[in-house]
């Protein structure tokens, strides 16, 4: 178990799926956790269950994030994301904007508002949840992949700008993880999509949100001080060699 006693963590998109596992894990590690999510009911229920705090925030809206960014945080984990399955020529500008707003702008917003206090304090850990699609591309997910590729490049840039302040920034690229987001995609695409997802990994199965949370727990630990600007696949080997 990682020792995060005394650390304050902001988990964006922490109410469900991977984010909820990250919240549970960081609380278990001893951190004081703040859940920022637009799903207010799930956020409040989880906060009450584990002893965290929460607020209803649309993370794609800079001003809404700003209202909660007054307090300093040591740890920022960005998990909020939305997906969409359609060939690019069948998508609309409105859909691109929605994906980019949640998947990329939420990361820009939280980083812009929380990083200055980390830099001033001489310590910080940022972990952004991207996707293997951001490294490999995705048939039926071109804009999603573009948004996640942008998160990877952004995180590496923040790592370059922030190392001198004792702040690390890393990316986790999950493969298919069994969450509500994935189940929604499978409901639309059927069992064949689920089979294709499993066989796209080397280990032949879906991952669990807890497996992603374990990697987050390590990357935000004191022991990970010498790891920054990295992309860690938690994807059953899907992105191996990328
Ligand atoms: N599940 C997978 O297979 C998988 C694979 C690769 C990457 N990812 C990425 O992991 C992250 C988490 O995915 P998940 O599967 O847990 O999804 P999820 O849908 O289960 O959870 C996403 C959470 O983000 C919140 N959220 C969405 N938009 C928001 C907004 N604008 N403001 C605040 N909160 C918002 C939702 O309310 C939800 O609580 C996402 O970034 C996703 O792209 C997931």
176 lines ligand 1 (CB under 6 A): yes
Distance 69 CA to ligand 1 centre (A): 21
Q: Which of 62, 105, 144, 226 is catalytic?
A: 144
Decide: 128 in ligand 1 pocket, CB within 6 A: no
Identify whether 144 is a catalytic site residue. Answer: yes
Encoding tokens for residue 76? 């920022």
Closest-CA residue to 79 (of 62, 51, 57, 49): 57
Closest-lying ligand 1 atom to the alpha carbon of residue 212: 10
Alpha helix stretches (DSSP H) within 29-66:
40-50, 62-66
pLDDT higher than 90, residue 185: no
Q: Which of 135, 149, 179 to mutate to test the pocket of ligand 1 (most atoms within 8 A of CB)?
A: 179
pLDDT in tens, 145-157: 999 999 999 999 9
The response to whether residue 180 sits with its C-beta less than 6 Å from ligand 1 reads yes
Q: Give me the percent of the chain exceeding a pLDDT of 90.
A: 89
Which residues, 6 or more positions from 178, have their beta carbon under 8 angstroms from its beta carbon?
A: 206, 207, 208, 209
DSSP string spanning 118-177? HHHHT-EEEEEE--THHHH--TT-HHHHHHHHHHHHHHHHHHHHHGGGTEEEEEEEE-SB
Judged against a pLDDT cut of 80, whether residue 241 lies above it is answered with no
Residue 189 has pLDDT above 90, yes or no: no
CB neighbourhood size of 66 (10 A): 13
What are the sequence ranges of the domains in the chain?
Answer: 8-234
pLDDT digits (tens, 9 = 90+) for 62-99: 999 999 988 899 999 999 999 988 999 999 999 999 99
Residue 19 corresponds to which tokens in the numbers above?
Answer: 């984010």
Any idea which architecture 8-234 has in CATH? 3-Layer(aba) Sandwich (3.40)
Average pLDDT, the chain: 96
Percent of the chain with pLDDT over 70: 100
Average pLDDT for 11-26:
98
Residue 173 in tokens: 């690229």
């Amino acid at each position: 178990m990682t020792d995060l006693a005394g650390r304050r963590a902001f988990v964006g998109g922490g109410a469900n799926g991977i984010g909820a596992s990250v919240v549970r894990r960081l609380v278990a590690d001893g951190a004081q956790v703040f859940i920022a999510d637009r799903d207010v009911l799930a956020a409040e229920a989880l906060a009450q269950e584990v002893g965290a705090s929460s607020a209803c925030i649309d993370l794609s809206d800079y001003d809404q994030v700003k209202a909660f960014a007054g307090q300093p945080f040591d740890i920022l984990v960005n998990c909020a994301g939305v997906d969409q399955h359609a060939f690019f020529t069948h998508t609309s500008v409105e859909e691109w904007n929605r994906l980019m707003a949640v998947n990329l702008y939420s990361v820009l917003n939280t980083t812009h508002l929380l990083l200055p206090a980390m830099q001033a304090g001489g310590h910080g850990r940022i972990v952004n949840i991207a996707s293997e699609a951001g490294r490999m591309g995705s048939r039926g997910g071109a804009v999603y992949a573009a948004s996640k590729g942008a998160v990877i490049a952004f995180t590496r840039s923040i790592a370059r700008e922030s190392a001198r302040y004792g702040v690390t920034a890393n990316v986790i690229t999950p493969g298919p993880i069994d969450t509500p987001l994935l189940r929604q995609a499978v409901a639309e695409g059927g069992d064949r999509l689920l089979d294709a997802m499993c066989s796209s990994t080397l280990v032949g199965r879906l991952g669990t949100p807890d497996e992603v949370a374990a990697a987050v727990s390590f990357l935000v630990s004191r022991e990970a001080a010498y790891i920054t600007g990295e992309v860690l696949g938690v994807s059953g080997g899907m992105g191996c060699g990328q």
